[in-house]
Structures are given as structure tokens and as C-alpha cells.
């Protein structure tokens, strides 16, 4: 059966109809059911009628009004069709149709519509309607077969205006390089210190520094950067930071599609599309995926963890992360020490969690609750609130990992239900662990090795939920391995990576509500007049609770000990509200307001010396920033903004050296990589992040794109 399916794929490719599907995609499901377990298609007459209407609207132009063949597509019924597809599992045909049709927008129709068209096609091929409808879930079709029997002689009858003649010889052309020919498994050593030309994980390595050692593109020639290639992706929000390994780029796109592309040309190598339930799923972009061994790990919108073969896109295993309601995923997996770890965003009672899966088998190894409960020794830090009512601790971004200490680092967010924590009850603790905390977990067991809470009882949604940068920093006459991270207020705490001991805090200069920081413990003192319930007037809190320094990732140049940060210089008008109401339930409504002395330049890129705490430079502009930062050994800093501009700055001065306009708002973070010795810089676009949604109204003269789109843009120097 596998050979028959491969033959059909080859025959369809010959007629020019295979669009975006590799032979491996056909072969992976072939033979899944034994012959004696297969049956004729089952569908209803009403379903076939609905399918006919959908066919006329979407397919008839190419394949003819009644599937008899047209100028640009062969017949989809009769002997010629059955000679190619007969006796194949119906799931194979359904996968092909879904992944390649309509040609201008593969996979764009509702799943039910694809099922209806398939029912109509089966009716046209002689199958009789029955009482049960053909299911929309492709996996349920493997037990049904296409009418007829496949033969090798059917192809010559499938002719159309778009067919290639078999009489002529296609001139030879140089073959594209096989990017997977020398593929070797991705190792722990590679993820800790990637080859210079690769971008193997979120922020390039397990250390989450977001820095590229490539230097072909530098201060002197960056002005010559040109578009090397671009590729449109399914339209929708796109926060993804691509991964690159050995000349292959892996991209996650809206609608849970994954593409493997030739990183030098953008040519598609394989494509995977998740078949999501039609209801109960919040589609969301994902910031990253994870490469480990010979697999690519993908978190999906229906809260599953997938392992795909990195060379073919073939599914290796599929596991549910949680069956709890009101969860979603915006970050992506961290793969280390043989374990795939995924944090999720908990929108309801019970809080967030982090789950660990065996990278080879998919077996669930552990679950860590980011809201302390049960026999956790820190469960009594919620001011006496019942466990079932606690919320928060969402894990919005991927973790980082240090191979020397063997620790994985994650950062849960605060809770929006601040009212039960606002006033400390007698005999209780209202710190609310593990919100706004750095967690150091053992990947094998999920055991909490140490934690540090950056902000106790966060009443302002300041979210210490971003990347944990691992670095070697000069301190006290020596070198110390540290964790560097911040909340939205732009305070960067520096911790000892092995023990979690507090070392110091560096302030970006954006906030006005933390009045003191204990130099020994790192505890922050909050201006009591800025806490909910203390005053009846509207007052200004800086920065705005949406950031400030939000999830847009930093970049660290270890040679210069310089951290590059993007932020939005906005403040918040805080208006009192009755307890239990407002954005935060402690009683506060918050609206964006410019800083009282603002000059209208809201977007900020800042360089900080993490050894001295000195702000080296800052570049301000009108448009709020919307991407993370990339810094390179060529002395450059790249970032994008809501005005669709992608900009290169001088890493020493902040001067603008190059700028390119894109078709949509850039999100995620730029990456740099090399293929065949040539350096590239890539940036994804696709309006729809929380930052663009929050700040688009602050610059009314900047129009958002009238047509939503998504794409990846790749730049390089001229040859």
C-alpha cells in the first residue's frame, strides 16, 4: 500500500497538482489500517449536496462543473481518477485535498466544508449515501477507502491544459541542495553553544541571549542590505521566532502550520498542518518551537505537544498537555536533558502549570503547578484564599536551561484577581507564590531546586514573566554565572544561577512606584500611595501595565556585557474602581497616558552595561517597538516597530544605520544565521500581538495595515 500511495503522489506531481505536500506526507498514513478493516465511505445525501455547492464555488473552475475535468485540473471521478486513488485510505485523499486545495489558499476552508466536498466526490465515484455523515476529522477516515483500484496505467488519461506532456523532455536544471543530506541529531552541546551559523532555539541557545556571533554584516556594510527572499504565510498574528539548523528554517504560522524552508531561498521542504477542533480552541501564534535530537517539538492551540521528524515533518508522537479548560499557549517548548517542557497560560481558577515530557517517547514525566497548592510548602502564601479560587502564574514565554547546573528556568506571571491579596489578613502571608518568580526546576523530575520572587503580591500586573538570560558576568573581581530578568517596570534583577541568591538590580529608569530595593534580599518597597484603595483621585503610575518592558525579548552581548532592551515609554492613568471591578479586581482601572514630560517619542531601544548598571545609550522614536532585539558580532542591533519599519542600529551609539519597510507589523524577534558561508537576517510579520493591539491607538497618524497578512522576510548583502 505504501508503494501505491507514493506512486499516486508521483503521478499527481506529474500533472502539476501537488501543491505544498511532500511524498512523505502521503506515505506516513498509508497502510495505517489493514485491508480487512477498511470499508466504503459513509456519508449522507444532504452532506453530498452541501459538498456539491462548495465544489461549484471553490473547485469547478479548474476541475469542471461536475468533476469531469477542466482546463487546469484533471477529472476527479471515473476510471482515470480511480486508477490513481482507488483503494487508498480515504484519509490519504482527505489530507491531500486539505493540504493543497484550493491552490490559491490551501487549507483555508472550514474542515466541515472539506468533508462535504469529499462526500460529494465519493458520490460522484459511485458510493451510495447512507445514514451517517462523513466525519471532518481526517484521522477517522483511515478505515474507509476510495472506490476503485489503483493501477500504473491510469495516469495518461488524466490530461488537462495544465498538464505536462510526456512526449517532450524537460531541460535539465541544477538540483536544489539536499539540506537534510548530512543531518545529525541536535545535541545538548549544540543547544548550549550553537554553531555560529545556526539559530537552534528560542533566543538562539539554551542561554537565551539572543546574540549572533556572525559578523559578515557589520556597521560599514549594513546599509547595503537587500531583500534576499520572502515568503507569505497563512494570514494572522505571527509572533514566531524562526529556528535555523544546517540551512533549514523552521517557522510556526497562524492556524498551527509548520514549515521547513530552505533558509537560503525560502523554498518549501515540508509542511505540517494541525487539524484543530472547530470549537473550543483559541488560535494563537507561538513564540517558538524546539529542536532536540532528530525531532522538532511543537505546542498547539488545542493544548497538545507534538514531536515531528525534523527531516520530514512526519508525526512521531502527540500528547495532550492538559484537559483543564480556559488555558492557552503563547510561548513554546524548551527541550533539554531528554525532556520537553512546556508552560501554559492559565486564564481561570487553578493557575498555570509547566509539564515535562520524555523527548523520545512523549511520556508525561511531571507537572509543576505555578500557583502553590496542596502539600507545596509555599501553598500558604495566598492570604488564606481557597486553592480552587487562586489564579495566575501564567507561563507566557519559553524557559532557558543551564547545562552546568542542570537547571531549567521559567517565570510565571502575576494574577489579575488581586482583591483577595490586597490587604494582608492577620496570621496570613499574601506573597502569592509562584507569581512574578524565577523558578529553577530539575528537568528530569520537575523538582523545584530554588526560587526567587521578584515582586511580592504584584498589584499592578507588572509581569516578571519574560526570558531568563543566562550569562557569565564580571562581579567582585571574578566571574559569576547569573540569571538576568525583569518585569514590565524595567527593573532587571541579577541572580546567582546556581543558588538563586540575589545579587543586584539595574533600573532602566521607566518606573515611579518602587521607592527602594533591599540590597541584601532584593525586596522592593512600593509607594503606598500608589496601591489600590489608598486614594480617590486619578493618578499617574509609570510605566503602563501593558509595558514598559514587555515580552519583547532582550539581547545580550557577553563580550561587552551589554544588554539591549526595547520598551514603550508610556505611563498609566489609574482611576479607582469598586473592589471586585476594574481591570484588576483590587479596584483599579488603567488607561495609557504619555509620561507627563513626554515629547511623543514612545518607542525606546536601550543599551545597558550589566556590570556597572550604566545606561550606555538610548534611541527614541515615535512608533512603539513591537519586536524583540537581535544583536550581532558585527556591532549591530536590529529591532522592528508598529510603523512596519525594521531598523539596524549601531550597537555602540544607537545611531540608525539601515531601515526597511515591511508589508505588515513585525512581531516576534529577528534572527541571524548563515547558509553556505553567507549571513542572513530574518524577521517575521503579522499584526496581532498584545503590544500592537495596546499601542496602535497612541499613534493615530500611523495606519495599521488595511489587509492582515503574515510573512517572513530575509535580508542579506548583495553577492
Residue 2 clears pLDDT 50, i.e. is over it: no
Domain that holds residue 571: 191-716
Residue 606 falls inside a structural domain? yes
Specify the CATH number for the domain of residue 98: 1.10.760.10
Residue 172 falls inside a structural domain? no
**Domain limit, last residue, from 138, 157, 176:** 157
340-398 tens-digit pLDDT = 999 999 867 889 999 999 999 999 999 999 999 999 999 999 999 999 999 999 999 99
Please indicate, yes or no, whether residues 104 and 245 belong to a single structural domain of this protein. Answer: no
Residue 564 falls inside a structural domain? yes
Please indicate, yes or no, whether residues 395 and 314 belong to a single structural domain of this protein. Answer: yes
**Domain limit, last residue, from 113, 137, 157:** 157
Residue 371 falls inside a structural domain? yes
Helices (DSSP H) in 364-462: which residue ranges?
419-422
Per-residue pLDDT, averaged over 527-537, amounts to 91
Please indicate, yes or no, whether residues 379 and 301 belong to a single structural domain of this protein. Answer: yes
Which is it for strands 400-402 and 407-410: parallel, antiparallel or unpaired? antiparallel
Using an 8 Å Cβ cutoff, are 682 and 225 in contact? no
Residue 11 clears pLDDT 50, i.e. is over it: no
Specify the CATH number for the domain of residue 350: 2.140.10.10
On average, the pLDDT of the chain sits at 90
**Domain limit, last residue, from 107, 138, 157:** 157
Please indicate, yes or no, whether residues 95 and 236 belong to a single structural domain of this protein. Answer: no
Please indicate, yes or no, whether residues 244 and 286 belong to a single structural domain of this protein. Answer: yes
447-463 tens-digit pLDDT = 999 999 999 999 999 99
Q: Pick the range with the lowest mean pLDDT from 53-57, 347-351, 429-433, 661-665.
A: 347-351
CB atoms within 10 A of CB 425: 12
pLDDT of residue 582: 79
Residue 166 falls inside a structural domain? no
Please indicate, yes or no, whether residues 145 and 203 belong to a single structural domain of this protein. Answer: no
286-300 tens-digit pLDDT = 999 999 999 999 999
Candidate ranges 19-23, 71-75, 141-145; pick with highest mean pLDDT: 141-145
Q: pTM for this one?
A: 0.89
* Burial class (CB within 10 angstroms; exposed 0-12, middle 13-18, buried 19+) of 707: exposed
Residue 165 falls inside a structural domain? no
Residue 702 falls inside a structural domain? yes
Count of domains for the chain? 2
Please indicate, yes or no, whether residues 363 and 497 belong to a single structural domain of this protein. Answer: yes
Please indicate, yes or no, whether residues 127 and 204 belong to a single structural domain of this protein. Answer: no
152-200 tens-digit pLDDT = 654 544 556 666 777 778 889 999 999 999 999 999 999 999 999 999 9
505-521 tens-digit pLDDT = 999 999 999 999 999 99
User: pLDDT grade, residue 44 (50/70/90)?
Assistant: very high
Please indicate, yes or no, whether residues 292 and 149 belong to a single structural domain of this protein. Answer: no
Please indicate, yes or no, whether residues 586 and 665 belong to a single structural domain of this protein. Answer: yes
Angle between helix 90-100 and 2-14 (nearest 10): 30
Residue 261 clears pLDDT 60, i.e. is over it: yes
pLDDT of residue 159: 57
Please indicate, yes or no, whether residues 127 and 203 belong to a single structural domain of this protein. Answer: no
Please indicate, yes or no, whether residues 153 and 248 belong to a single structural domain of this protein. Answer: no
401-439 tens-digit pLDDT = 999 999 999 999 999 899 999 999 999 999 999 999 999
Residue 29 clears pLDDT 50, i.e. is over it: no
Cβ burial 568-600 (10 Å sphere, 16+ → b, else e): bbbbbebbbbebeebbbbbbbebebbbbeeeee
Residue 175 falls inside a structural domain? no
> Quick one: which of 669, 676, 646, 672 has its CA closest to 215?
672
Amino acid at each position: 500500500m505504501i508503494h501505491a500511495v507514493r506512486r499516486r503522489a508521483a503521478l499527481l506531481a506529474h500533472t502539476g497538482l501537488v501543491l505544498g505536500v511532500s511524498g512523505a506526507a502521503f506515505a506516513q498514513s498509508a497502510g495505517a489500517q489493514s485491508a480487512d478493516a477498511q470499508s466504503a465511505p459513509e456519508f449522507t445525501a444532504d452532506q453530498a449536496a452541501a459538498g456539491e455547492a462548495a465544489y461549484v464555488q471553490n473547485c469547478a473552475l479548474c476541475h469542471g462543473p461536475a468533476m469531469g475535468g477542466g482546463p487546469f485540473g484533471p477529472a476527479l471521478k471515473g476510471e482515470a481518477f480511480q486508477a490513481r486513488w482507488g483503494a487508498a485510505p480515504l484519509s490519504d485523499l482527505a489530507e491531500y485535498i486539505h493540504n493543497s486545495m484550493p491552490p490559491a489558499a490551501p487549507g483555508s476552508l472550514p474542515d466541515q466544508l472539506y468533508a462535504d466536498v469529499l462526500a460529494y466526490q465519493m458520490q460522484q465515484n459511485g458510493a451510495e449515501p447512507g445514514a451517517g455523515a462523513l466525519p471532518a476529522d481526517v484521522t477517522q477516515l483511515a478505515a474507509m477507502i476510495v472506490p476503485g483500484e489503483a493501477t500504473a496505467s491510469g495516469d495518461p488519461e488524466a490530461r488537462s491544459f495544465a498538464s505536462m506532456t510526456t512526449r517532450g523532455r524537460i531541460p535539465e536544471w541544477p538540483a536544489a541542495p539536499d539540506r537534510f543530506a548530512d543531518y545529525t541529531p541536535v545535541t545538548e552541546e549544540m543547544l548550549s553553544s550553537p554553531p555560529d551559523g545556526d539559530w537552534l532555539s528560542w533566543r538562539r541557545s539554551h542561554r537565551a541571549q539572543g546574540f549572533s556571533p556572525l559578523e559578515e554584516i557589520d556597521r560599514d556594510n549594513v546599509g547595503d542590505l537587500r531583500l534576499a527572499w520572502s515568503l507569505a504565510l497563512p494570514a494572522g498574528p505571527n509572533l514566531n521566532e524562526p529556528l535555523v539548523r544546517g540551512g533549514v528554517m523552521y517557522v510556526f504560522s497562524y492556524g498551527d502550520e509548520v514549515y521547513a524552508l530552505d533558509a537560503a531561498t525560502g523554498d518549501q521542504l515540508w509542511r505540517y498542518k494541525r487539524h484543530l477542533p472547530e470549537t473550543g480552541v483559541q488560535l494563537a501564534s507561538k513564540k517558538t518551537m524546539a529542536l532536540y535530537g532528530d525531532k522538532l517539538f511543537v505546542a498547539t492551540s488545542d493544548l497538545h505537544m507534538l514531536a515531528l521528524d525534523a527531516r520530514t515533518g512526519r508525526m512521531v508522537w502527540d500528547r495532550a498537555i492538559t484537559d483543564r479548560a480556559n488555558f492557552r499557549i503563547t510561548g513554546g517548548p524548551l527541550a533539554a536533558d531528554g525532556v520537553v517542557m512546556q508552560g501554559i497560560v492559565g486564564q481561570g481558577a487553578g493557575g498555570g502549570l509547566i509539564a515535562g515530557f520524555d523527548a523520545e517517547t512523549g511520556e508525561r514525566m511531571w507537572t509543576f503547578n505555578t500557583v502553590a497548592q496542596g502539600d507545596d510548602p509555599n501553598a500558604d502564601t495566598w492570604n488564606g484564599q481557597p486553592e480552587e479560587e487562586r489564579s495566575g502564574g501564567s507561563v507566557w514565554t519559553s524557559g532557558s536551561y543551564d547545562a552546568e547546573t542542570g537547571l531549567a528556568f521559567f517565570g510565571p506571571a502575576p494574577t489579575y484577581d488581586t482583591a483577595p491579596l490586597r490587604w494582608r489578613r492577620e496570621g496570613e502571608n499574601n506573597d502569592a507564590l509562584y507569581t512574578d518568580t524565577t523558578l529553577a526546576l530539575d528537568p528530569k523530575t520537575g523538582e523545584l531546586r530554588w526560587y526567587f520572587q521578584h515582586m511580592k503580591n504584584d498589584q499592578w500586573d507588572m509581569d516578571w514573566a519574560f526570558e531568563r538570560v543566562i550569562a557569565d558576568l564580571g562581579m567582585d573581581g571574578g566571574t559569576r554565572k547569573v540569571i538576568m530578568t525583569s518585569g514590565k517596570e524595567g527593573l532587571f534583577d541579577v541572580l546567582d544561577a546556581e543558588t538563586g541568591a540575589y545579587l543586584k538590580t539595574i533600573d532602566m529608569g521607566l518606573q515611579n512606584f518602587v521607592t527602594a530595593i533591599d540590597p541584601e534580599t532584593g525586596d522592593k518597597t512600593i509607594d503606598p500611595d500608589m496601591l489600590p484603595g489608598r486614594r480617590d483621585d486619578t493618578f499617574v503610575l509609570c510605566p503602563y501595565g501593558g509595558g514598559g518592558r514587555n515580552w519583547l525579548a532582550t539581547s545580550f552581548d557577553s563580550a561587552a556585557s551589554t544588554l539591549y532592551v526595547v520598551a514603550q515609554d508610556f505611563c498609566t492613568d489609574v482611576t479607582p474602581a469598586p473592589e471586585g471591578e476594574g481591570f484588576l479586581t483590587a479596584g483599579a482601572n488603567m488607561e495609557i497616558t504619555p509620561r507627563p514630560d513626554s515629547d511623543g517619542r514612545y518607542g525606546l531601544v536601550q543599551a545597558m552595561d550589566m556590570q556597572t548598571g550604566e545606561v550606555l545609550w538610548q534611541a527614541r522614536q515615535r512608533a512603539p517597538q513591537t519586536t524583540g532585539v537581535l544583536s550581532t558580532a558585527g556591532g549591530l542591533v536590529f529591532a522592528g516597530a508598529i510603523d512596519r519599519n525594521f531598523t539596524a542600529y549601531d550597537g555602540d551609539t544607537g545611531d540608525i544605520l539601515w531601515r526597511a519597510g515591511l508589508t505588515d507589523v513585525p512581531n516576534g524577534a529577528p534572527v541571524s544565521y548563515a547558509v553556505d558561508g553567507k549571513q542572513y537576517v530574518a524577521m517575521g510579520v503579522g499584526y496581532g500581538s498584545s503590544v500592537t493591539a495596546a499601542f496602535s491607538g497612541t499613534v493615530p497618524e500611523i495606519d495599521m495595515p488595511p489587509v492582515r497578512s503574515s510573512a517572513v522576510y530575509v535580508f542579506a548583502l548583495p553577492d
